[in-house]
Amino acid sequence: MTDQSQIIIEVNGREVEARPGEMLLAALQRAGIQVPTLCRMEGLLPTGACRMCVVEIEGARGLVPSCAFPVTSSLKVKTHSNRAVQARKTIIELLLANHPDDCLYCVRNGSCELQNLAEDLGVRERRYAGERTRQQLDSSSPSLVRDPEKCILCGKCVRVCEEVQGVAAIDFVGRGSKTVIDTAFRQGLNMSTCINCGQCVVVCPTGALHEQSYAKEIMDAIADPKKVVVVQHAPSISVTLGEEFGMKAGSDVAGALVTALRRLGFDRVFDTSFSADLTIMEEASELVHRVKTGGRLPMMTSCSPGWIKFVEQFYPDLVPNLSSCKSPQQMMGALIKSYFAEREGLDPRQIFSVSIMPCTAKKFEANRPEMAPGGVSDVDAVMTTRELVRLIRKHGLDLKDLPSDTADTPFGERTTAGKIFGASGGVMEAALRTAYKLLTGTELELAAIPAVRGLDGRKELELEIGDLKVGVAVVSGLGNAHKLMQEIQNGRSGLHFVEVMSCPGGCIAGGGQPLHHDTEAVRARMQGLYKLDRESNLRTSHSNEAVQRIYREFLGEPLGEKSHALLHTHYHKRSDVI
């Protein structure tokens, strides 16, 4: 931006630089002037619905929402005049008028935007006592719980579901004071097109949306001496968790995490990045098989359970394009209840298998009937990053003070190919490294594949592998997936492999991650993963010795009979959702 295109506006008697046409709020934020917001969403158009960001502008008739007011020259703005502050306080008081007074018992106590604003604006009494609206809790979903009584109708969940994810499972229903946010025909999330991604939870300012928790079942299992409780943690967890304990975003706390999980009472700690390596062995082999035998292309990744449901309900004709590989969570689960149980001489029913995921859809995935062969679930309970943070605090542990420990055999070793699964493009990069080796017999001589890295919603690359020109695409955020799927339906050719992650940026920005993750924190988590990869000397899944051993001792070969029975599955068209 050159100086000529800057204009000067007056804010609170000070000069502030702004760009003509940008929204006033953006200029204020750049100048470090804090104006509160509730309904604003980074990267989306303003709606001006909540009016929290109102400011006084000289000459304007009323207060103006700064999020939706384009800057013009010679503006005179007062952001914290008595009138503006009083208006904000009144808005909060009105929102509180029919809000349940149960902050102490609320899952968002201490992290609630409404609570914080009430505190910042000095709300000390209930000035307006509105009639409490009684609403049913929607706990029909295995992943998410909606508590409409705590909803302030800011509309962020509706927008993220429709505009970012292209799912639109929920919308405003009814009118006026009877308006609620609900699914079509108010049938509950479980019967809706909700893909369980949890992005709505991440943007919700209050306790109206949270994850379905199985923490009690987990702690009960730990307390049960007859149960062997094992836990696996997903690749993105170790580069996220530190933030919640005062460390820099992106720091890798894998060692302390293992110690924390042991102290919580888990009998074995495994690393999902191990089974991510295994996924790559299977998935890269499947890709090579499809390419060589004229199978259905482009093959699409199947690690992200929100995406799977998305295909099943919106693109049933593309279900055969999905890789038949289970996700790393489910592969690990299947191996725990087979190979591990055998090795330890345990009845699979004695094992309680827990996974820690950055994801709410993983709870849905673990509950899928396909994932419980013979009535024994591969994974018994899934916990999000947020729930783990609560559990660690509850047990008086602080990650900063914990010594480092390593995960257990036989599923504790990983390469960084499995680790980078946590970022959008990671599965693709890891798969290309191994597919290259499978097709050419030599290692891919690239330190990194930058074209598939980064937080862009869509990345594409053509790569020569031997005499084959391989076209790949990486998308994250299902709104972006919609566009690519439509291109594929319309006959786009030249694509061999497509990676889709439901959440924008991949698992590091998953719906089970700490709330209000800003882009900077997500970027730091991604850089944390790639730093590990850069510094590692084991960067290809096929170089994982533990994975090779499990093929020798148990599975046989990728795509072999045992692999098929344990590590692969099939997905089906869904027509029961609305």
Indicate which residues carry an active-site annotation.
283, 286, 303, 323, 362, 365, 370, 507
Q: Residues 87, 103, 168, 451: which binds another protein (CB under 8 A)?
A: 168
Helices 254-264 & 385-394, crossing angle to 10 degrees? Answer: 60
Q: Binding to another protein by residue 175, rule CB under 8 A?
A: yes
First-residue to last-residue Cα distance in the chain: 47
Look at residue 56 and give its three-state secondary structure: strand
User: What is the token pair recorded at 180?
Assistant: 């609620």
- Tell me which stretch binds another protein (CB under 8 A): 172-180, 197-205, 375-383, 488-496: 172-180
Q: Could you give the string, one character per residue 367-406, with x where binding to another protein holds by CB under 8 A and - elsewhere?
A: ----------------------------------------
What's the CA gap between 439 and 296, in Å, rounded?
18
Q: Is the dihedral of CA 255, 261, 263, 268 positive or negative?
A: negative
Question: Does 151 sit near another protein (CB under 8 A)?
Answer: no
167/474 with CB nearer another protein: 167
Of 128 and 172, CB closest to another protein: 172
Q: How far is the CB of 409 from another protein (least distance, A)?
A: 48
- Strands 468-476 and 458-465, bridge-based pairing: antiparallel
State yes or no: residue 169 binds another protein (CB under 8 A).
yes
Inter-residue contact 211 to 363 (CB < 8 Å): yes
Minimum distance of another protein from residue 386's CB (angstroms): 26
- C-beta of 175 vs 216, nearer to another protein: 175
CB of 290 to another protein, least distance (A): 31
Please count the other Cβ atoms lying within 10 Å of the Cβ belonging to residue 59. Answer: 7
Q: Is 460 one of the binding residues for another protein (CB under 8 A)?
A: no
Is there a contact between 418 and 235 (Cβ–Cβ < 8 Å)? yes
CB atoms within 10 A of CB 220: 13
In terms of CB distance, is 446 or 578 closer to another protein?
578
* Site residue total, another protein (CB under 8 A): 17
Query: What DSSP string describes 236-247?
Result: TGGGTGGGGGTP
Report the site for another protein in 178-217 (rule: CB under 8 A): 182-185, 192-193
Decide: 438 and 285 in contact? Cβ < 8 Å: yes
| Per CB under 8 A, 172 contacts another protein | yes
Single out the segment in contact with another protein by CB under 8 A; choices: 168-176, 327-335, 343-351, 463-471. 168-176
Nearer to another protein, 174 or 295 (CB): 174
User: Which residue, 192 or 434, is less far from another protein as judged by CB?
Assistant: 192
Least distance between another protein and beta carbon 314 (Å): 10
Helix (H) or strand (E) holding 462: strand 458-465
Segment interacting with another protein (CB under 8 A) among 38-46, 123-131, 170-178, 288-296:
170-178
Alpha carbon of residue 259 to chain centroid: 25
Task: Output the smallest distance, CB 171 to another protein, in A.
Answer: 4
Segment near another protein (CB under 8 A); pick from 69-77, 163-171, 459-467, 543-551: 163-171
Tokens of 94: 């009105």
Strands of 529-571, DSSP E:
none
For residues 338 and 348, the answer to whether their CB atoms sit within 8 Å is yes
**3-state SS of 314-326?**
HCHHHHHHECCEC
Q: Is 162 in the site for another protein (CB under 8 A)?
A: yes
146 burial (CB, 10 Å; 0-12 / 13-18 / 19+) is buried
171 binds another protein, rule: CB under 8 A: yes
Interface with another protein (CB under 8 A): 162, 167-175, 182-185, 192-193, 578
